[in-house]
Structure 1
Amino acid sequence: MDKKRIVILGGGYAGVHAAKKMHKAFKKMKDRVEIVLIDRHNSHILMTELHEVAGNRVDEDSVKISFDRIFAGKMVTVIRDEIKTIDFKKQLLIGVAGSYSYDQLLIATGAEATDFNIPGVKEHSFYLWSIADALNIKRHLKDIVMKASYEKDEELRKEMLTFVVAGGGFTGVEMVGELMEWLPILCREHGVDYEEVQLINVEALGSILNMLGDKPRNKAIAYMEKHGVRVMTNSLIVNVDANSLTIRDGTVIKTQTLIWTCGIRGTSFAHALELTDGKVQRK
C-alpha cells in the first residue's frame, strides 16, 4: 500500500507545531503515512527573539534551532528547498531543487512586514522580520553612532542620534528596550554624550501594548519614560523619507533610523497562489 504523504510547507512556529502534532497522531501508522516538512532554511528561527539580535544582546545562532534537532527521533522528513509555486490540480509543489507531490498539504509560510502603502516606509525604514533584518539593524546602529561621533554639524548630528521605533506592540516595545540598553554602551564606545540621544516610540493608536491590562501597560510606559523614551501615541505616520518621518498632525521628526514594527500581512508567495484572500492579503 502506498503511503499517504502529508506535506507541511514552512518551518515557522505553525509548521513545526503541526509537524510535532502529526508525528504524535500518526507515529503508529508509519507504514501508511509519511510526513514531510519543506523549508528554504535548515533551521527554525525564533522570530519573537529577533530584537535581541538587533540590539546586540545575543548572537544570531542563539535564535536558530536546527530542524534535525527539533525532529530527532520523529517521523518527519525535512527537505530544504524554496518552493516557487504550487500546482493544486496535480497536487505538486515546484521548487528550486525539485518538485514534490502530496496527498494533503498544509501551507504554513507565515507572514511578512507590511507598510500599509505609506509612502517611503519600504524604502527608508528597517523591518524586523528576519535574521537578515536584525543583523541589518545591528550594523546600522553601530555605523550611525560611529558616524555621529565625527559629525560637527549640530542639526545633522541630532538627526543621526534620533532613533524611532514605529509600532507599540510587543515587538516594537521590546526593540525599544534593547535600544535603551545598547545605545548608552555604543555612545560610550564612541565618545558620544548619551544625553544627545533621542529615543522615540511612535504608535498610531491611543496607547502602546493594547493587548495588556492597564496596570502592566502603565508600568511599562512609566519605565520607558523614566529612561528617557518619548512615547508618542495617536501618531499615525503618513510619510517617510531618507532623513525624516511625518505624523498625520504635521509633526516632522528628523531621523536616519526608523525601525518599522507596525504589522504584518500574508507572504507574497501565498498572495500569488490561487486562494481566497482574507484581510490585508492574508490567505
Structure 2
Amino acid sequence: MVMAKTVILGAGYGGMATAVALEKSHQPFTIINKHEYHYFTTLLHEPAGGRNQFENYSVPLRDVLHRAESEILVASVNALRPQENKVVTDSGEVDYEYLVIALGNAPEYFGIPGMQDNALVLRSLDTARQVHEHIENTFKSWQEDHDDTRLRILVGGAGLTGIELCGELAEWMPELAADYNLPLEKIELINLEAAPSILPMLDEGLREEARRVLESKGVQLRTGTAITKVNPNQVELKTGETIDAKTIIWTGGVRANPLIKEAGFEVDPKGRAKVNEFCQSVDYENVFVIGDSAWFTGEDGKPLPPTGQAAEQMGSLVADNLIALQNGGSMQAFHFNNRGTLASLGAEVGVGSVKGIPAKGVSAALLKEATKVKYLWHLGGLRMLSEKRGQFKRKG
C-alpha cells in the first residue's frame, strides 16, 4: 500500500495549481491522474476545430513537477473512502493524511433521452480528438454517397464551450471543403440552445456582437430551441421538429464527478461537495475540494460557477492552507477574483470583458491569447512559456 501525506486527485487547473505551489514550497505530495500529462481544458475547442495539432495542448506532468519528492501516480480513481483516509485506484489503494479532490467534471445530460449514447462531447483531449476525427471522416465520406446529412453539424449548448467550438468549426469548414472537394454551400453548422440567448455570462451587447460574428461565418444560431431526444444521427426538438445530422455534439452543461456523491459527501444538485470558506469539506476537515468538484458559495450567495480561473485560484489557496495546517498556522478564506470572461469566435476575433471592461473583435482575441501566456507562465515559468507560446497559432 502506497503511503502519502498529501494526495491530490486530478491534474486539471485546480490540481496543478495546488501541486505547483506545494512543490515551490518543498512540500511532498502525490498527484494521481488518469494521464501522464496536463491538458488545457478551456482550449479544447481549438484542436477539435482544426486550429492546431493536439500535442500542443498538453504538457507532461514531469515537465512541470520536477522534484523527486513530488510523486506522480498515473492511475484512474475508482472510489473515495474518506472515513478510512483512503483512495482506491486501478493501481491499488493510497492512504493520505490530507486529500485534495480536483476531479474535474462529467457531462450533464439533463435527462435528455439518447443524448449520452448518441452525441459526442468535448471534455478531454481524447474527446476533442474524437470530435475532430469524426467530423473529418464524416465529411470525407460524402463523396461515397452524397448524403448531405454528413455535412450537417449540430452543436447543443450556447455557453462558452459551445460558442467557442462553433467559432473554430466555422473557420475549419472551408478548409475541409477544399481538402475533400465538398460543396461549401451545403455545409451546415447549427447551434441549438434552449435558453433565449447565447453566452449568458456576458452582457447583451457582447452577446449580440458574438451572434453577428458567428452568423457572418455561416453559423446558424437557434436559441429558445430545446432538444428533447437524441436518436442515432437525429435530434428531436420541443417544437416537434426533427433534424438529421451525422455529427451531434453536446456542450450543454457539466456536473461533478459521480465518485464524490458515491463517497457520501454532502453535495448540491450537480454533485459538488459542499466546502467552507477555506475550500475544506464540511464533512471531513482533512479533505479539501476545489474547482468543478466544489460547492462553494460566493460572496453573492450563489454557487461559484465551474471555470478554469476559479479552479486555479482555489488550488493555489488550498496549497497555502495545507502548508499552514502542517506548520500550525492559520488558514485563509477563499475570495474569488473574477478577472472576467473571454470567448474566442475563431482564431482572430472574440468577445468578452476583463475586470468589467468590455472587449470585442481583434482586441478580445489578443486578450484571450494573453491569458494563455499568463497561464503558461504560472504553470512552468519562462521555460514553459518559451516552449509553448508559439504553438497556438492557426496552422497553415
TM-score by length of 1: 0.89
SS in 2 for 1:275: coil
SS in 1 for 2:270: helix
The alpha-carbon deviation at position 205 of structure 1 amounts to 0.7
Q: Which amino acid aligns with 2:140?
A: M
The alpha-carbon deviation at position 23 of structure 1 amounts to 4.0
Contact 1:23 1:74 in 2 (8 A): no
Match of 1:249 among 224, 228, 239: 239
Contact 2:11 2:102 in 1 (8 A): yes
Contact 1:42 1:67 in 2 (8 A): yes
Mapping 1:1-283, distance limit 5 Å: 5-24=5-24, 27=25, 34-73=28-67, 76-152=70-146, 157-283=147-273
| Deviations 1:171-219 (CA, angstroms, capped at 9, x unpaired) | 1111111111111111122221100111111111111011112222211
Distance of 1:73 and 1:22 partners within structure 2: 11
Distance of 1:78 and 1:44 partners within structure 2: 12
Q: Which amino acid aligns with 2:15?
A: G
Distance of 1:110 and 1:9 partners within structure 2: 9
The alpha-carbon deviation at position 256 of structure 1 amounts to 1.4
Contact 2:82 2:263 in 1 (8 A): no
Q: Which amino acid aligns with 1:102?
A: Y
Residue-pair matches, total: 271
Distance of 1:4 and 1:80 partners within structure 2: 15
SS in 1 for 2:44: helix
| Deviations 1:214-262 (CA, angstroms, capped at 9, x unpaired) | 2222111001111221110011110111121111121221211111100
The alpha-carbon deviation at position 34 of structure 1 amounts to 2.9
The alpha-carbon deviation at position 39 of structure 1 amounts to 1.2
**Structure 1 runs, 4 residues or longer, greater than 6 Å off:** none
Distance of 2:134 and 2:20 partners within structure 1: 38
TM-score by length of 2: 0.65
Go from structure 1 to structure 2 and tell me whether the alpha carbon gap of 1:191 and 1:279 turns closer, same or farther (over 3 Å shift): same
| Deviations 1:102-128 (CA, angstroms, capped at 9, x unpaired) | 111111111011211101111111111
Structure 2 gaps, min length 5: 274-396
Distance of 2:98 and 2:239 partners within structure 1: 51
| Cα-Cα RMSD | 1.9
Q: Which amino acid aligns with 1:63?
A: Y
Distance of 1:267 and 1:225 partners within structure 2: 35
SS in 2 for 1:279: coil
